[in-house]
């Protein structure tokens, strides 16, 4: 056996994962080859060093004493029927969520629609002008006290209230809404445009944009479709780059991971545009057209169901408006 | 296996026992894969939620419970690592890992930091296989089953992982007599 062939077998030899015949050949070669002996010794020392490090590091880590009670609570939450006023896609994304109609200590009312949307989407970043750290801290504490929100992935920024009716879909395909692949982004531009990105950039995804319907701006050119009785436009065969990096206020703490995905290229996507209740809605997605139309048909104003389901909390004391949110991604308008 | 049978029959006490029996292994595996205590805590929850939901689909004839459990753990970790690429920001800075002071020397701490950094630079595939082999000490056959790859791929991936680590860490001094390693 030559040294080059030996080289590929040494790790398996050290791991006792070679066949008896390979073992015999390796040992015969080692007996007469000083270079391979040194290589073997070096690999062995490295294995030992890595193994000791992993064992040592793991031994320092232990789950929190509350791990079992947290799990029990989540299991109990799964067993309970979800509140009927929650849209099903929010129920999937925020399991165990209960009624939200909470008055904050600081006089802020965070109503359920907004808080749910924030949690469901995992990110809400209002490109904030009114940015109040104490309010943000309250919102974070409040949200955390009620949901299993991954720590270290929450962001709440207070921003302006959109001046149009915000819509939410009551239907999302399972491939998009599946919790294990779900990634959500909500961001709000200075013009009040809200964008939500859902799904997996490597799989199927969906971006919803909405903003005030411009009275003087017609729908773009494309194939005419009907969505909920309204005229809409479908544009197919699109390709481009979708930006996932949000605008962040200067005083937000924390360092984004260096390897985060800032954008991704897409091909063969479709765009669906229509106006409803004074809101212009656009869906950009690589889902089949039938699925996109089904999502579009399911859009309804966020304020539905029992009690109000508003999209924004308000700050009655000083007239400013507030928002809440958290989490992982965003798309720049 | 009796515990598994009881869990499958809906015995919640048995499920609690199962959780406590495996929580450390799942948590520590996740901690090594994700380098973050909070993420490991979340993965621990997700893994056992899935175990609770899917235990009825576990087929003992197809492999050990631990193999199934490790597969779920690894999948959740890899999914989380992927998602992490998309994380925007952490409002609350995760405190730096508190490496316990070791009596030996400062050199030991530096060595740990060097290994930690080298491991963190590995691709997900290589890092996963290193943890399965050198933390969980699984055989190549078990690793192949967990990752759903041929044993030959396990061999080549481990070989590449170790050699990449060696390159990152520089020359490793000869410390082990051959007779101890050439079993």
Question: pLDDT value at position A241?
Answer: 87
Contacts of A125 in chain B (CB under 8 A): 88
CA distance linking residue B147 with residue B129, whole number of Å: 9
Shortest distance, CA A188 to any CA of chain B (angstroms): 15
Contact B166 A43 (CB under 8 A): yes
Above 90 in pLDDT, residue B140? yes
Question: What is the helix (H) or strand (E) element at residue A233, kind and residue range?
Answer: strand A230-243
Contacts of B90 in chain A (CB under 8 A): 152-153, 254-255
Contact A152 B36 (CB under 8 A): yes
From the list B38, B162, B172, which residue is nearest A11 (CB)? B162
Chain B contact for A96 (CB, 8 A cutoff): no
Contacts of B153 in chain A (CB under 8 A): none
Interface test with B, best of A13, A15, A65 (most B CBs within 10 A): A15
Q: A301-305 long-range CB contacts below 8 Å, 24 or more apart?
A: A301/A165, A301/A166, A301/A167, A301/A277, A302/A113, A302/A117, A302/A165, A302/A166, A302/A167, A302/A168, A303/A113, A303/A165, A304/A85, A305/A84, A305/A85, A305/A86
Lowest mean pLDDT among A300-309, B11-20, B22-31: A300-309
Mean pLDDT of chain B: 79
The tokens of A305 are what? Answer: 């169901």
| C-beta separation of A305 from A168 below 8 A | no
Q: Which residues contact B67 (CB under 8 A, 6 or more apart)?
A: B142, B145, B146
Write out residues 218-237 of A within 8 Å (CB-CB) of B.
Answer: none
> Is the pTM of the predicted complex or chain greater than 0.95?
no
Chain B contact for A30 (CB, 8 A cutoff): yes
| Under-70 pLDDT residues of chain A | 77-166, 168-170, 174-199, 244-262, 301-333
CA distance linking residue A163 with residue A312, whole number of Å: 11
Spatial strand order in the sheet of A279-285: A125-126, A184-188, A194-199, A205-212, A279-285, A263-276, A230-243, A223-227
Closest CA to A329 of A196, A174, A188: A196
Shortest distance, CA B99 to any CA of chain A (angstroms): 8
Contacts of B173 in chain A (CB under 8 A): 45
Q: Which residues contact A3 (CB under 8 A, 6 or more apart)?
A: A29, A33, A35, A36
Shortest distance, CA B135 to any CA of chain A (angstroms): 6
Contacts of A76 in chain B (CB under 8 A): none
CA distance linking residue A264 with residue A40, whole number of Å: 43
Question: pLDDT value at position A21?
Answer: 93
Contact A140 B91 (CB under 8 A): yes
CA distance linking residue A3 with residue A33, whole number of Å: 8
Model confidence at B136, pLDDT cuts 50, 70, 90, reads very high
Contacts of B88 in chain A (CB under 8 A): 123, 125, 155, 245-246, 248, 256, 260, 327-330
| C-beta separation of A269 from A305 below 8 A | no
Write out residues 40-79 of A within 8 Å (CB-CB) of B.
Answer: 40-51, 53-64, 67-68, 70-71, 74-75, 78
Contact A155 B178 (CB under 8 A): no
Above 90 in pLDDT, residue B126? yes
CA distance linking residue A208 with residue A92, whole number of Å: 18
Contact A256 B32 (CB under 8 A): no
Contact B162 A253 (CB under 8 A): no
Question: pLDDT value at position A101?
Answer: 23
From the list B49, B133, B172, which residue is nearest A74 (CB)? B49
Question: pLDDT value at position A186?
Answer: 46
Question: pLDDT value at position A132?
Answer: 38
Phi-psi group of A232: left, alpha or beta (phi > 0 → left; psi -120 to 50 → alpha; rest → beta): beta
Angle at A162 between CA A169 and CA A156, to 5 degrees: 85
Which residue in chain B has the smallest CA separation from A16?
B183
CA distance linking residue B90 with residue B87, whole number of Å: 8
Closest CA to A153 of B47, B117, B42, B35: B42
Lowest mean pLDDT among A31-45, B58-72, B86-100: B86-100
Which residue in chain B has the smallest CA separation from A249?
B89
Above 90 in pLDDT, residue B130? yes
Contacts of B84 in chain A (CB under 8 A): 257, 260
DSSP state of A263: E
Model confidence at B109, pLDDT cuts 50, 70, 90, reads low
Write out residues 266-325 of A within 8 Å (CB-CB) of B.
Answer: none
Tally C-beta pairs within 8 A across A and B.
200
From the list B41, B90, B135, which residue is nearest A64 (CB)? B41
CA distance linking residue A118 with residue A309, whole number of Å: 13
Contact B89 A256 (CB under 8 A): yes
Q: What number of other Cβ atoms are within 10 A of residue A63's Cβ?
A: 23
Closest CA to B138 of A40, A17, A59: A17
Instruction: Give pLDDT tens digits for B154-168.
Output: 999 999 999 999 988
The better pLDDT of the pair B137, A103 is held by: B137
Q: What number of other Cβ atoms are within 10 A of residue B36's Cβ?
A: 20
From the list A12, A38, A246, which residue is nearest B174 (CB)? A38
In terms of C-beta density within 10 A (0-12 exposed, 13-18 middle, 19 or more buried), how is residue A220 classed? exposed
CA distance linking residue A208 with residue A227, whole number of Å: 15
Three-class secondary structure of residue B15 per DSSP: helix
Q: What are phi and psi of A238, to 5 degrees?
A: -90, 145
């Amino acid at each position: 056996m030559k040294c080059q062939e030996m080289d590929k077998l040494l790790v398996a030899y050290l791991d006792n994962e070679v066949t008896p015949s390979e073992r015999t050949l390796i040992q015969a070669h080692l007996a007469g080859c000083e270079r391979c002996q040194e290589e073997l010794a070096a690999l062995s020392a490295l294995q030992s060093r890595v193994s000791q490090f992993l064992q040592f590091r793991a031994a320092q880590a232990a789950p929190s004493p509350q791990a079992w009670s947290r799990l029990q609570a989540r299991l109990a939450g799964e067993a309970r029927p979800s509140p009927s006023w929650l849209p099903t896609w929010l129920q999937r994304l925020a399991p165990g969520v209960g009624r939200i109609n909470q008055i904050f200590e600081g006089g802020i009312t965070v109503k359920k629609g907004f808080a749910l949307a924030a949690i469901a989407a995992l990110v809400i970043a209002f490109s904030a002008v009114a940015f109040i750290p104490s309010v943000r801290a309250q919102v974070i504490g409040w949200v955390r006290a009620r949901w299993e929100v991954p720590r270290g992935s929450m962001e709440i920024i207070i921003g302006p209230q959109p001046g149009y009716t915000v819509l939410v879909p009551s239907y999302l395909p399972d491939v998009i809404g599946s919790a294990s692949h779900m990634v959500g982004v909500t961001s709000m531009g200075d013009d009040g445009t809200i964008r939500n990105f859902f799904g997996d950039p490597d799989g199927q995804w969906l971006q919803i944009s909405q903003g005030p319907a411009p009275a003087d701006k017609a729908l773009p050119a494309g194939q005419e479709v009907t969505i909920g009785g309204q005229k809409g436009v479908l544009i197919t065969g699109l390709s481009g780059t979708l930006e996932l990096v949000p605008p962040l206020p200067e005083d937000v703490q924390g360092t984004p991971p260096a390897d985060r995905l800032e954008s991704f290229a897409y091909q063969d996507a479709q765009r669906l545009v229509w106006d409803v209740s004074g809101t212009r809605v656009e869906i950009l997605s690589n889902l089949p057209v039938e699925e996109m139309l089904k999502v579009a048909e399911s859009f309804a104003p966020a304020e539905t169901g029992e009690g109000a389901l508003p999209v924004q909390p308000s700050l009655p004391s000083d007239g400013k408006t507030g928002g809440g949110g958290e989490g992982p991604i965003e798309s720049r308008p | 296996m009796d515990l598994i049978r009881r869990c499958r029959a809906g015995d919640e006490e048995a499920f609690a026992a199962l959780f406590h029996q495996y929580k450390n292994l799942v948590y520590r595996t996740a901690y090594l894969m994700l380098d973050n205590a909070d993420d490991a805590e979340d993965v621990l929850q997700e893994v056992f939620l899935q175990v609770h939901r899917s235990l009825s689909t576990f087929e003992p004839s197809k492999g050990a419970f631990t193999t199934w459990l490790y597969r779920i753990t690894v999948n959740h970790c890899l999914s989380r690592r992927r998602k992490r690429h998309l994380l925007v920001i952490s409002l609350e800075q995760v405190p730096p890992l508190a490496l316990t002071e070791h009596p030996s020397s400062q050199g030991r701490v530096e060595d740990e930091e060097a290994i930690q950094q080298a491991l963190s630079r590995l691709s997900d595939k290589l890092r996963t296989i290193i943890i399965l082999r050198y933390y969980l000490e699984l055989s190549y056959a078990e690793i192949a089953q967990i990752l759903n790859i041929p044993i030959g791929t396990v061999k080549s991936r481990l070989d590449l992982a170790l050699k990449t680590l060696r390159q990152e860490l520089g020359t490793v001094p000869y410390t082990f007599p051959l007779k101890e390693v050439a079993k």
